[in-house]
Chain A
Amino acid sequence: MIPAFLILLSCQLAGETAARALALPLPGPVLGMLILTAALALRPGLQARMEPLAQGILGNLSLLFVPAGVGVVGHLGALGQAGLPLMAALVGSTVLAIGVGAVTFAAVARLTGAPK
């Protein structure tokens, strides 16, 4: 488990360093994800070593948003008078974006015959 965690942290660290050094519009962890994908391509054996830790982390991914969520509750006042219009905008735009994105994906996949 420790080697697997070390690999995760190293990828994140490399991602953070690259994001800052190259002034990329991407957060370090997202770059770290791309770095780990590249590492998996170079060393396919890595997958089996990472698997147990990955399942533990990704199986509980929702938990990791709880501290930020609690912080948000304290800042709901920052919405101010715009609270209701903003909630309407968030609900409307999220539903539309998921719907349009999924319908577009499925339609293009069907048209181009991209197999599942």
Chain B
Amino acid sequence: MTGFAEIWSYLSQGPLLWLTATLAAYAVGDAAFRAAGRAPAVNPVLIAVALLAGVLAVTGTPYSTYFEGAQFVHFLLGPATVTLALPLWQARGLVARAALPVAVALIAGSVTGVVSALAIAQGLGVGDQILASLAPKSATAPVALGISERLGGSPTLTAVLVITTGVIGAVSATPLLNALGIRDWRARGFATGVAAHGLGTARALQVHPVAGAFAGLGMALNAVATALIAPVVLGWFR
């Protein structure tokens, strides 16, 4: 009979164990989310990430080993982004009639996000190179990393800031928009997609299909808007 240590050392090096662990951790997070009546504070991503980070730390597993299994899930982010065309297409009538609110809210939301992030960070003494990494944090990750690099920031730091922004948006959007008394699903979804990219869109899709369609649209439009706005706004803070 083979000992546990040997089986572990075999399995922990292959993709099967870590792919299974990723799905299992998400299943736990999703079950907790449902048990809490789909409360936004019980975010399934946050729970899964905390569980997996704990397991990696306890077992001394490097992230690169974990990612060999998790990459199959990570890869699907690309096709999933393409899939957002479907809710967008289904809501095409709504989108076409909302062209003006979409355009104005895109500029308002995007500029507010970049200006307030840089103002708060600089006010609290954060230096110039970190501000360059912070400026594109509301854009979807691949765009944000590209912008950060062009502005002289650190793509690694930007990745941390982008994902954290997405989680903050996914957790805060529902209570915030309820407190503001916004009942228009288009407005709720669009603002969440602009401010919190794919993670905000994932949350919007959980709430309402129209919110999900407008969130996907907001994420896509803010990828372009951030590329144009972030360098200009960063210039004001230098």
Contacts and interface: CB of A to CB of B under 8 A. Distances in A.
A114 B66 contact: no
Interface of B: 22-23, 25-26, 30, 43-46, 48-50, 52-53, 56, 63, 66-67, 70-71, 73-74, 76-90, 94, 97-98, 100-102, 104-106, 108-110, 112-114, 116-118, 120-121, 124-127, 130, 134, 137-138, 140-143, 146-147, 154, 156-157, 159-161, 163-170, 172-173, 176-177, 180, 182, 184, 186-188, 190-192, 194-196, 198-203, 205-206, 212, 216, 218-220, 223-224, 227-228
Contacts, number: 339
B104 A37 contact: no
Given A47-B86, A78-B160, A88-B124, A70 B199 contact: no
A94 B163 CA distance: 12
Given A71-B67, A85-B121, A112-B101, A12 B157 contact: no
Contact of B85 (A33, A69, A94): A33
Which label, helix, strand, loop or mixed, suits the secondary structure of the B interface?
A: helix
Given A12-B82, A27-B140, A37-B89, A70 B53 contact: yes
A26 B202 contact: no
Contacts of B176: 95, 98-99
25 contacts: A11-B85, A25-B143, A25-B147, A26-B224, A27-B142, A29-B79, A40-B89, A41-B89, A47-B89, A58-B80, A62-B199, A63-B30, A66-B70, A67-B71, A69-B45, A75-B156, A82-B121, A82-B126, A87-B164, A93-B137, A95-B172, A96-B116, A97-B195, A98-B177, A102-B177
